[in-house]
Structure 1
C-alpha cells in the first residue's frame, strides 16, 4: 500500500497501556533502527498533532523524511521516504479501519487462547480469517476511493491552472486593445485640435492677405512707379500669392477649404498629369501608370486633386535621391458596412502612389500627416503636403492611408467616393465675359475694415457705387433707411449674424438680388447651395469674374424694394 501512495513505507505505532510506550502495530515492521532521530521523533509524538521529521530508516546509515500524524487515541501514522501523494493525516480514516482490525485481531488472539484452552482452535481461526477478509475488503475500498479522490484533485488542479492561464491572456489582450484604442483616441483628439487651430489661423491669414494682394494688384494694374518699383511690387505680389497657396494647404488640412466637387474622370486626370509628373521626377526616376480603362468617375475637386497628386509625387521623388520607380495605380473597391471604421459603406476608387525610396520608420510614420512635420532639410519643404492631401480626402468623404517600412519604400492610398454622375457633368462653360460696368449700387458687408476698404476700391473701379457696412445689423439699418442695392457682396463669418443669414433676409425683401459670399473659408452649414462663393484673398479680376457670372449681360436695372 505504501508504494501505491508514493511512499517508501507505511508504519503505524500503537500505545502500550501497560508499559506506556509506542510499539509497531501487528503486521508492520517490528524492529526499528533506533538512535537519536527516533528518540526525538517519539518525544514529539507525545504532543500529538501532525508534523514532518527526518529519521534513520530503513537502517541507521540512511535518513529518510517522514510525514507523521497522531490520532486522537494516541496511534501514530507515518509515511516514510519517497514522494507521498497524500498526507498522513488523510489516511486517518483508513487507519481507523486498520486499527479496528488490529484490535479485532487482539480480541481474536484472546479468543484463540481461550479456544486453545477449551480446545476450540478451529472456530477461532475461521473467525479471524473472516475478520481479516472483511478488513482487507474495507481497506481496498477506501484505498480505491482515495485514489479516485487524488485523481479528481489532480484533474481539477489542471483545469484551474489552465483557466488561470487563459484568464491572464484574456486580460492582457483586453489591456492591449484598450491601450491601442486610447492611443488612437488621443491621436485623433490631437489632430482635431491642431485642425481647429490651423483653420482659425488660416482664416485670419486670409483676412490679412486680402488687402495686401488687393492693394498690390491695384498698383500693378495702374503701373505705379518706375521700372524698379514695379519689379518690387511684382515680387511682393508673387510672395503674397505663395502665402495664399500656403494658407490653402492649411485650410485643406483643417478641412475648411472651399471645394468645387464634381464628377472627375480619374483616368483622364492622371494621364493628363503624367508628363508633368515625369518631368518633375527627373531622369533617374521611372514613372509607371497602371489604371484600368473601366475606372468609374469619382467625386472630387479636380484642381485640388491634381495638387494632391503632384504633392505625393514630389514627396516620392525626395524619398528616392538615388533614383527609383514611382507607380501610380487605381482600382475600384466596395466598402461593406462594418468593414471600415473610417469609411462609409459604398463604392470607392483607391488611388495609390508608391515609391521605392528610403521609407519611414514607425516614429516618422505616426507623425507623417501632422502639419509642418517634415524630414526634409530647412527650406526644402513646408511639411504641409501630406496633411493637405489628408484633409482633402476627409473633406470629400474619403480617407488616406500610408504604409511604409524603412528601406522598403512607401505607399499612399487615397480613397475617393464613386460619383453617381458621368465625368464632366458638373463642368460649366468658362465665363470670360468682361466685367460689368454699370451704375448700380453694391452693398458691401465685412467686419474687417482693411478687407472692406480694399474690396470697396475694387468694386468702385468696376463701376459700382458702394455702400459699406461693418456688420449684418448695419446693413439692415441701411435698408431700413431706404437703400435698395443692385448687388450684395458679404463676408460669411461675422459676429451675431452670418453672411448667409443676411443674404436670406435681403433676398426675401428684394427679389432677384444677386448675392456673392466672400470668405476665408465657407462652412457648408447654413449656406444655401445656390449662393456663389469667392475665396479670400482674391484679385480684382477674380471678383469681376464672380460678379459677371451673377449679373445679366444687359444693363443693371433698378429693383423695386419689397419691405416686409
Structure 2
C-alpha cells in the first residue's frame, strides 16, 4: 500500500514537473514553428505582390512601346516639313493617346536637333531644344531599341509632375538618325498603384533601371534616389539578375527589408516589392503574444489548443491535398474526353475510308475480273483517297495549320458559279435566293477552301430545314465587323479596304442559345450517328481565321439561322488569276533530270517509278545533306529538285535556303502533308505539291518549274 502511495506521489511529482517543463518546451517549439511559418507566409505574399507589380509594369511598358511603334509608323518616311504642316492633326492624335493612357503625361515627336515637331501638350510647340535630355541623346549614335530614361523635371514653360522618358529612334530609309519619338511617363502613376496594393504595414515598392536609377518608390521620398550597383544590394542582385528574394538594408533609409525583385522582360527595368523585417517580426510577436496570454494562466488549456490547432491544420492540409488531387483528376478526365472525341471522330471516318480501299484491293486481286469491275474498284480507291485528303484538309483548316494557296478572286462571281452545284446539293424543295453585288468584291484567299466553306454552310442550312425551305446567299462589301476583327481593321495596312461579308440565311429550326458556343467545335454535331462528322462548320471557322477573317452566327429557335463569313477585301484593281485545271494530263519528261529527296523509301520509290515511266531521269537520295552534296559536285546535271519538307536533320526549307545561298540555280519544288513551319512562314518562294499527290499533278509542277528556269536563263543570256 505504501509503495503504491509512493508511486502515486512520485507520479504526482513527475506530473508537476512536467506541468512546468512541457508548456515551456511546447512554447519554444511553437515559437520556432510560428517564426518559420510567418517568414514563409511573408515570402509568399512578397512574391505574389512582386508578380502583380511585374505584370502591371510589363503591360504598361508594352502598351507604351506599341503606342510609340504606331506613332513611328504614322510619321515613317515623312519629312520634318510635312510633319510640321500636319502638326495640328498629329497634335490631336498625340493628345488622344496621352488622354487615353493614365500613365502618360505627354507624347512627343522630335527632329534630329532635339526640337519638338509635335507634342500632346500645346500646339504649336515652343521652339526649344531637348537635345540634352537622356531620352534624346541616347539614340543619336546608334539604334538601341526602346530607351527608358531617368526621372526628370519639366523644362519651362512646361510644368507639372516629374516624369521619365520612354523613347524610340526615328530613322530614314537608309538608317540615318532623323529624330526621336518619346512618351513622358508619370512615376506617380506607378506609386499610386503601389499604394493601392501595398496596404500591409511596412509595405515597400520600388521600380528602377538596371543602372540603379530609381523611377518610382513607395513609400514616396522627397529626394532623388539612386541604387549603387556595386553596393550590397546591387551585388546581391548581380548574383541572380533575373529575379530573386533577398534581405537587405535599403540605402535610402537604412531600414532592413525582405525584398523580392524581378526584371521586366527585355526592358532594362526592375520592379521590387517587400516588407520591413520589423513588420514581419511584429506579425510573429503578435502570434506569440496570443499564445502567452492563454499559456501563462492555463498551460493545460494551451496544450489542448495547440493539439487541436495541429489536428485542425493537418485536417485542412489533408482536405487541400484531396482537393488538388480531385482537380488534377478532373483536368485529366477533360483532356482524355477531348482526345477521345477527336481520335474517335477521326478513326470513325478513316476506318470507313480504309474499309472501302481494303475491300477494293481484295476484289482487284480476284481472277477473271472484268474491265468494268476493275475500273469501278480503282475509281472507288481514288475517291476514298480524295475523301481522306479532304478530311485531313478540314482538320488542318480547323487547327489553322494548313498551308493554304491564296489567290485573288471575285466572291460574287465564285458564289454565282456554284449555283447549280448548290441547287443539286440542297434539292428541289429548297428555294435558293442569291443577292450578289454589281461591283467586284475581291479577296485573296484559298478558292477551294472558300468553296468548301460555302458548301458546308449550305449543307448545314439544308439539314436545319430538313430538306425544305428557303436559303439566301448574300455577298456584300462592309466596314461593320464583329468585335474579333475590330483591332485587325484598325491596324495600319491591315484590311485597308474593309471586308467582304458572305451570309447564308435559312428558315430552319434554329440553334438553341446553349449550343451556339459549341457549333464550331470539331466533331460536335446534333445529327444522329452516321449522318454527320461535325467537321463542316469547324472547317469554316478554321478557314476564316487562317485567312485573316471571322465567322459569326445569329440564330433563334424556330426562326432559322444566319452564318456570316468575313474575309479581308483587296483593292478592286487586282484581277483574279486563272488557274490551270487539275485534270490536265501528265507531262512527259523527255529526259528531264530530277533529284528526289525523300526519307520515306516507299513514297520515294512511288514517285521515282511514276516519273521514270513518263521519261524523267531520276536520282534518289533520302536526306537533304546528301542532296546538297550532289548539287555541289555537279548542279548542271539536274533540272529540278523535288524535296519533302519534314525530314530528320535538315528540312526541305533548309535545303532550299542552302541552295540559294550557294548560288545554285536549280529550282526547288517542295511537298508535304502538313508542316507547321509552312503554315506560319510560307514556302519561301518554292512551288508546293500537297500530299497526297498524283503522278500527273507532280509532272506538271516539275515541268513548269524547269520551264521557268529555262526561260529565266535564256533571258539572262
Task: Show the counterpart of 2:578.
Answer: 427
Please give the per-residue CA displacement for 1:141-200, whole angstroms capped at 9, x wherever unaligned.
Answer: xxxxxxxxxxxxxxxxxxxxxxxxxxxxxxxxxxxxxxxxxxxxx9xx99xx98xx89xx
Summarize the alignment of residues 439-478 of structure 1 with structure 2, pairs less than 5 Å apart: 439-478=591-630
Task: Show the counterpart of 2:703.
Answer: 548
Summarize the alignment of residues 363-382 of structure 1 with structure 2, pairs less than 5 Å apart: 363-382=514-533
Taking structure 1 as the reference length, the TM-score comes to 0.56
Distance 1:458 1:304, change over 3 A: same
Partners of 2:673 and 2:692 within 8 A in 1: yes
Task: Show the counterpart of 1:407.
Answer: 558
Between 424-433 and 383-392, report the one with greater CA deviation: 424-433
Distance 1:480 1:274, change over 3 A: closer
Rounded Cα–Cα distance in structure 2 between residues aligned with 1:336 and 1:379: 36
Report the Cα offset of residue 553 of structure 1: 8.9
Q: Does 1:253 align with 2:387?
A: no
Partners of 1:265 and 1:423 within 8 A in 2: no
Between 415-424 and 306-315, report the one with greater CA deviation: 415-424
Structure 2 segments unaligned to the other structure (5+ residues): 1-330
Q: Does 1:273 align with 2:410?
A: no
Report the Cα offset of residue 377 of structure 1: 2.0
Rounded Cα–Cα distance in structure 1 between residues aligned with 2:685 and 2:701: 14
Partners of 2:411 and 2:442 within 8 A in 1: yes
Please give the per-residue CA displacement for 1:445-503, whole angstroms capped at 9, x wherever unaligned.
Answer: 12222222211222222222222222212322434565742210011122332212201
Rounded Cα–Cα distance in structure 1 between residues aligned with 2:649 and 2:480: 42
Distance 1:520 1:342, change over 3 A: farther
Please give the per-residue CA displacement for 1:100-130, whole angstroms capped at 9, x wherever unaligned.
Answer: xxxxxxxxxxxxxxxxxxxxxxxxxxxxxxx
Summarize the alignment of residues 181-220 of structure 1 with structure 2, pairs less than 5 Å apart: none
Partners of 1:486 and 1:556 within 8 A in 2: no
Partners of 1:438 and 1:555 within 8 A in 2: no
Report the Cα offset of residue 298 of structure 1: 1.9
Rounded Cα–Cα distance in structure 2 between residues aligned with 1:268 and 1:555: 36
Partners of 1:260 and 1:301 within 8 A in 2: yes
Distance 1:259 1:400, change over 3 A: same
Please give the per-residue CA displacement for 1:238-281, whole angstroms capped at 9, x wherever unaligned.
Answer: 22222122112112212222322222212211222223212322
Task: Show the counterpart of 2:506.
Answer: 355
Partners of 2:434 and 2:474 within 8 A in 1: yes
Rounded Cα–Cα distance in structure 2 between residues aligned with 1:230 and 1:398: 43
- Three-state SS of the structure 1 residue aligned to 2:526 is coil
- Three-state SS of the structure 2 residue aligned to 1:552 is helix
Partners of 1:433 and 1:548 within 8 A in 2: no
- Three-state SS of the structure 1 residue aligned to 2:505 is strand
Summarize the alignment of residues 155-234 of structure 1 with structure 2, pairs less than 5 Å apart: 227=371, 228-234=373-379
What do you get for the CA RMSD once the two structures are aligned? 3.9
Please give the per-residue CA displacement for 1:378-429, whole angstroms capped at 9, x wherever unaligned.
Answer: 2222211101111111111001111222222111110011012546343356
Distance 1:514 1:462, change over 3 A: farther
Report the Cα offset of residue 284 of structure 1: 2.1
Partners of 2:475 and 2:503 within 8 A in 1: yes
Partners of 2:484 and 2:550 within 8 A in 1: no
Rounded Cα–Cα distance in structure 1 between residues aligned with 2:536 and 2:616: 40
Taking structure 2 as the reference length, the TM-score comes to 0.44
Summarize the alignment of residues 26-425 of structure 1 with structure 2, pairs less than 5 Å apart: 227=371, 228-321=373-466, 323-334=468-479, 340=485, 343-345=488-490, 346=495, 347-420=498-571, 422=573, 424-425=575-576
Rounded Cα–Cα distance in structure 1 between residues aligned with 2:649 and 2:708: 35
Task: Show the counterpart of 2:659.
Answer: 506
Task: Show the counterpart of 2:67.
Answer: none
Which of 668, 672, 677 aligns to 1:515? It is 668
Distance 1:340 1:486, change over 3 A: closer
Distance 1:430 1:359, change over 3 A: closer
Distance 1:360 1:527, change over 3 A: closer
Report the Cα offset of residue 534 of structure 1: 0.7
Report the Cα offset of residue 352 of structure 1: 0.7
Report the Cα offset of residue 516 of structure 1: 0.7
Q: Does 1:533 align with 2:688?
A: yes
Report the Cα offset of residue 343 of structure 1: 4.3
Task: Show the counterpart of 1:490.
Answer: 643
Rounded Cα–Cα distance in structure 2 between residues aligned with 1:239 and 1:501: 34
Structure 1 segments unaligned to the other structure (5+ residues): 1-185, 560-564
Rounded Cα–Cα distance in structure 2 between residues aligned with 1:451 and 1:537: 10
Distance 1:443 1:510, change over 3 A: farther
Distance 1:423 1:451, change over 3 A: same
Rounded Cα–Cα distance in structure 2 between residues aligned with 1:331 and 1:260: 23
Rounded Cα–Cα distance in structure 2 between residues aligned with 1:493 and 1:305: 27
Report the Cα offset of residue 527 of structure 1: 4.3
Distance 1:400 1:557, change over 3 A: closer
Report the Cα offset of residue 307 of structure 1: 1.7
Rounded Cα–Cα distance in structure 2 between residues aligned with 1:268 and 1:467: 45
Partners of 2:441 and 2:569 within 8 A in 1: yes
| Structure showing greater relative contact order (alpha-carbon pairs closer than 8 Å, 6 or more residues apart) | 1
- Three-state SS of the structure 2 residue aligned to 1:315 is helix
Partners of 2:641 and 2:666 within 8 A in 1: yes
Rounded Cα–Cα distance in structure 2 between residues aligned with 1:468 and 1:558: 25
Rounded Cα–Cα distance in structure 1 between residues aligned with 2:388 and 2:519: 22
Distance 1:478 1:513, change over 3 A: closer
Task: Show the counterpart of 1:43.
Answer: none
- Three-state SS of the structure 1 residue aligned to 2:548 is coil
